[in-house]
């Protein structure tokens, strides 16, 4: 099959699916649908078709686009229409996570799999309520137990809903910790003497600075030279300056 023939079938599959489909899923589904064909479509063909579909819906003519999110490909409305779509779901659609929930979610996202006790150790506060809310919103999931800790506590990881919520395809798409910290670096404020409003203070600082410069420029010569005795047999010469 030509790629132009594959594209409509890919669009139909992604549109009808209730979950994100990756390229392997799409390849298998189309080959199953056209099992009578002698030549099966390849993964490379599907990926080329996906790139073409993505370019097609990236234009301003369409209010939605094809994006990789939640572990596969999905049709998603563009951010421009967020406020319009919000009217369908009211406050529930616009409701955001609390700071406490975001803190817990961030720790789980970067440290997963992780226990509730480990989350609390990092945050320094009880996190029962935050984790319960994240479970209710299906942003995290119980992924097992830590067999090495006493009591074998539950461990938590992010879910596919988490990736959909933040519009990423995998946890690898999360910003790196170093990048986040680099953005938070704040340069120190340089205070200059002329910034002082008190002229007396400014004059005093200026005088002290002038004295310091004078001390640096003046060579540090010994005060007493009585102990220095020249050898009469040596020719009298002018001592070299200690400053080169």
CATH number for 141: 1.10.10.10
In a domain, 227, yes or no: no
In a domain, 135, yes or no: yes
- The reply to whether the predicted model has a pTM over 0.75 is no
- One domain for residues 103 and 134: yes
Q: Is 25 inside a domain boundary?
A: yes
Half-sphere exposure of 27 (CA within 13 A, CB side): 13
Six-digit token string for 149: 């800790």
Same domain? For 110 and 173 the reply is yes
Domain-embedded: residue 74: yes
Q: What is the CA radius of gyration of the chain?
A: 35
User: Residue 198 domain-assigned?
Assistant: no
pLDDT of the chain, 244 residues: tens digit per residue = 788 889 999 999 999 998 889 999 999 999 998 876 667 899 999 999 999 999 999 998 999 999 988 788 999 888 898 888 878 866 555 567 889 999 999 999 999 999 999 999 999 999 999 999 999 888 999 999 999 888 899 999 998 888 878 878 777 778 777 766 665 555 555 555 555 555 554 555 456 566 556 555 555 544 444 444 444 444 444 445 444 4
- Whether 34 is covered by a domain: the verdict is yes
Q: Which residues contact 65 (CB under 8 A, 6 or more apart)?
A: 54, 57, 58, 75, 76, 77, 78
Structural domain harbouring 117: 96-183
Domain end (from 134, 165, 183): 183
Our count of domains for the chain comes to 2
Residue 239 is assigned to a structural domain of this protein: no
Confirm if 66 and 21 have CB atoms less than 8 A apart.
no
| Measured CA distances, 235 to 142, 144, 231, 232 (Å) | 94, 93, 8, 8
């Amino acid at each position: 099959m030509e790629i132009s023939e594959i594209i409509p079938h890919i669009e139909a599959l992604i549109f009808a699916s209730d979950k994100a489909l990756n390229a392997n899923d799409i390849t298998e589904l189309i080959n199953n649908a056209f099992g009578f064909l002698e030549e099966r479509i390849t993964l490379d063909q599907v990926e080329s078709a996906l790139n073409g579909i993505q370019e097609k819906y990236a234009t301003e003519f369409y209010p939605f686009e094809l994006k990789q999110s939640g572990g596969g490909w999905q049709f998603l409305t563009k951010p421009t229409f967020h406020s319009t779509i919000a009217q369908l779901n009211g406050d529930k659609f616009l409701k955001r996570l609390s700071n406490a929930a975001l803190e817990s979610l961030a720790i789980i996202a970067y440290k997963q799999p992780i226990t509730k006790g480990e989350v609390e150790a990092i945050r320094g506060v009880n996190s029962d309520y935050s984790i319960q809310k994240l479970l209710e919103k299906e942003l995290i999931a119980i992924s097992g137990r830590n067999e090495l800790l006493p009591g074998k506590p539950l461990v938590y990881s992010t879910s596919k809903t988490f990736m959909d919520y933040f519009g990423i395809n995998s946890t690898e798409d999360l910003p790196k910790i170093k990048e986040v910290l680099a953005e938070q670096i704040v340069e120190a404020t340089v205070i200059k003497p002329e910034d002082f409003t008190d002229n007396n203070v400014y004059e005093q600082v200026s005088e002290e600075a002038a004295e310091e410069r004078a001390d640096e420029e003046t060579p540090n010569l010994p005060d007493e030279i009585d102990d220095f005795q020249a050898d009469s047999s040596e020719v009298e010469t002018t001592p070299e300056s200690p400053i080169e």
